[in-house]
Amino acid sequence: MSIPSSSPANVRVDAWLWAIRAYKTRSAATAACRAGHIRVNGNPVKASQSVIIGDTIRVRESGWERILEVRRLIAKRVGAEAASHCFTDHTPPRPVAPKLGLPQRDRGAGRPTKKDRRDMEKLRG
């Protein structure tokens, strides 16, 4: 499926985020706007706000922020490859978290005590 050659004049921010596959459902994109997780050009927006080409959209999800620049307006959901042509992703790479090994117990040491379990939970975070 390709992107239609005639792009719509204005597209709602929630519809655009759904169309580029940032959210699985449009209602999830609307809820994110309502919760303040979406910012256009640095300002929190309502789901009904229109986006224009060149806008910078910041999407906060699970403690991480994606920075997207609008390159093309689309209102219909398209395939992942076609959707990637509609935005530029300026998100910095995520820092690699150091892998902490789980504490090793002697085989046959039995069930951990309550104190052992608390200590293991502290290590896991």
Residue 28 predicted with pLDDT over 90: yes
* pLDDT-based confidence at residue 33 (cuts at 50, 70, 90): very high
pLDDT at 105 (0 to 100): 64
What's the confidence (pLDDT) of residue 110? 78
Does the pLDDT at position 17 exceed 80? yes
The pLDDT value given to residue 108:
57
Distance CA 1, CA 24 (A): 18
50's enclosing H/E stretch is strand 50-51
Query: Does the domain made of 11-89 have the CATH classification 3.10.290.10?
Result: yes
pLDDT tops 60 at residue 1: no
Q: What are phi and psi of 67, to 5 degrees?
A: -115, 115
Which one has a higher pLDDT value, 29 or 6?
29
Residue 112: the pLDDT is 81
Element spanning 12, H or E: strand 11-12
Q: Are 2 and 82 in contact (CB under 8 A)?
A: yes
Q: Please list, in sequence order, all residues whose beta carbon lies within 8 angstroms of the beta carbon of residue 23, skipping any fewer than 6 positions away.
A: 17, 29, 32
Q: What one-letter code names the amino acid at 47?
A: A
The tens digit of pLDDT for each residue in 65-82 reads 999 999 999 989 999 999
User: Rg of the chain over CA atoms, in angstroms?
Assistant: 21
Length of the chain as a residue count? 125
Domain ranges of the chain: 11-89
Give the tens place of pLDDT for each residue, 82-91: 999 999 999 9
Specify the pLDDT at position 123. Answer: 87
